Amino acid sequence: MFGISLDSAHKVPTGFARRLLVAAAVLVLPTVAVAQSSGTPATSFFVLNNPGDPNFNQLLGINNARVIVGYFGDGTVVANNGYVLVPKNHYSVENFTNLPHGDFASQTQAIGINNRTFPDIVGFYTDHATGFTHGFLDSNGTQSPVDDPAGSPPNVTMPVQNLLGINDLGQAAGFWTDNDGHEHGFVVDLDFQTPGNSTFIEIPPSLISGAVATQASNITDTGKVCGFWTDGNGNNHGFFGIPGPLLFTFDVVINGVTATSTSPFGCNNRGQVVGSFTDVNGDVHGFIFRHGQSVQFDAPGSSQTPAFGVTGTLINGINERGDFVGFFSDGTKVNGFVNFAPIVHNKR
């Protein structure tokens, strides 16, 4: 078995995806149906499923140009296949291909996207040769693996690493998993010329009292990180802020009732944090959190009946406009969705 060297790996352009992203900058979206959601104003709601697997889709990140990243395939019946989407049906492949001859990515998820002229994309892939899972960066049509040395051999025998979000300054957030199966969050200052020289800043479980695991889900342009920590009972609790003493934790509270588990997956420069929470009945809902206040969001048609292991609604990404993306169970399949915020016209 062998690993992938960041410095010696062959870099593969993804030109078609890049052309698609440039076109998105001038995209004008059509008027769409309006849907009402729990506690939120009327907005434009789309269910968007890649025909590669209409039974399982997750939309995970959205930038200000409304370009979306996600994947189809549950990973068992159909492999994870990453994609870039310009709504409502302009898909391009975003699978990792920068691997030594004879190897291939058995799974890929495209998870985070930023707002650069040529947006950078991050996610993860699993290489077939070793079964290791690596974070990746796709920048200017060049794909590169990005792994935290703390979560790589010989420190970890079977690495699982993810990059989950990226800001406009070239900082990304993610996690690696230790030999006991516990996640360790981190942020990374990416070296775009030589990704192997990127600088990692750990957000270990020891940073938060009572935590056995941490996950960093995204990072804003001001360096604020959102994510969650897991307690000894397996319940998650949100965090947001500058890693260290300025990092504060929170739990979703709806109608005076505190969630059993809170899992932030995305955040923006306006201080909005999105994710999912589990209520006292064990039901899963999406949430939007800002300035200490939480709003519940349930996708129209969502169900608490599991489909492919997914229950209820999960929000995974939000842009500066307030548009957000995620996925939900309808009791039979898992659907990707985008919820466009109302356009606000400034009065003179």
Q: To which H or E segment does residue 18 belong?
A: helix 15-24
Strand ranges, E, within 167-306? 171-177, 183-189, 199-203, 213-219, 225-230, 236-241, 247-250, 253-254, 257-258, 261-267, 273-278, 284-290, 293-297
Structural tokens at position 21: 């992203």
Asked whether residue 347 is domain-assigned, the answer is: no
Alpha-carbon span 210 to 229, nearest angstrom: 9
Position 15 pLDDT exceeds 50 = no
Position 27 pLDDT exceeds 50 = no
Asked whether residue 318 is domain-assigned, the answer is: yes
Residues linked to residue 307 through DSSP beta bridges, in sequence order: 310
Asked whether residue 262 is domain-assigned, the answer is: yes
- From the list 140, 124, 121, the residue with the least C-alpha distance to 132 is 124
Asked whether residue 40 is domain-assigned, the answer is: yes
Structural tokens at position 203: 């957000």
Position 301 pLDDT exceeds 70 = yes
CA 245 to chain centre: 25
Structural tokens at position 267: 């955040």
Read off the pTM.
Answer: 0.88
Name the least confident of 17-31, 129-143, 313-327: 17-31
DSSP secondary structure code for residue 292 in this structure:
T
Question: Does the N-terminal peptide bond of residue 88 adopt cis geometry, omega within 30 degrees of 0?
Answer: yes
Q: Could you tell me if 60 and 106 are in contact, meaning their C-beta atoms sit under 8 angstroms apart?
A: no
Asked whether residue 1 is domain-assigned, the answer is: no
Name the least confident of 10-19, 136-145, 223-232: 10-19
Number of other residues whose CB lies within 10 A of the CB of residue 291: 6
Structural tokens at position 173: 């957030």
Which domain covers residue 315, as residue numbers? 15-340
Number of other residues whose CB lies within 10 A of the CB of residue 79: 18
Asked whether residue 143 is domain-assigned, the answer is: yes
Which amino acid does the sequence have at 252?
V
Q: What is the pLDDT of residues 109-150, one digit of tens each?
A: 999 999 999 999 999 999 999 999 999 999 998 999 999 999
Q: Could you tell me if 216 and 267 are in contact, meaning their C-beta atoms sit under 8 angstroms apart?
A: no
DSSP-derived pairing of the beta strands 273-278 and 261-267: antiparallel
The three-state secondary structure class of 22 is helix
Q: Could you tell me if 144 and 13 are in contact, meaning their C-beta atoms sit under 8 angstroms apart?
A: no
- Please report, for the domain that includes residue 119, its CATH number: 2.120.10
Q: What is the pLDDT of residues 232-271, one digit of tens each?
A: 999 999 999 998 878 999 999 999 999 999 999 999 999 9
Q: Could you tell me if 6 and 145 are in contact, meaning their C-beta atoms sit under 8 angstroms apart?
A: yes
Q: What is the pLDDT of residues 77-118, one digit of tens each?
A: 999 999 999 998 899 999 999 999 999 999 999 999 999 999
Position 222 pLDDT exceeds 90 = yes
What per-residue confidence (pLDDT) applies to 108? Answer: 98
Alpha-carbon span 292 to 82, nearest angstrom: 34
- How many folded domains does the chain comprise? 1
Asked whether residue 10 is domain-assigned, the answer is: no
Structural tokens at position 37: 């959601």
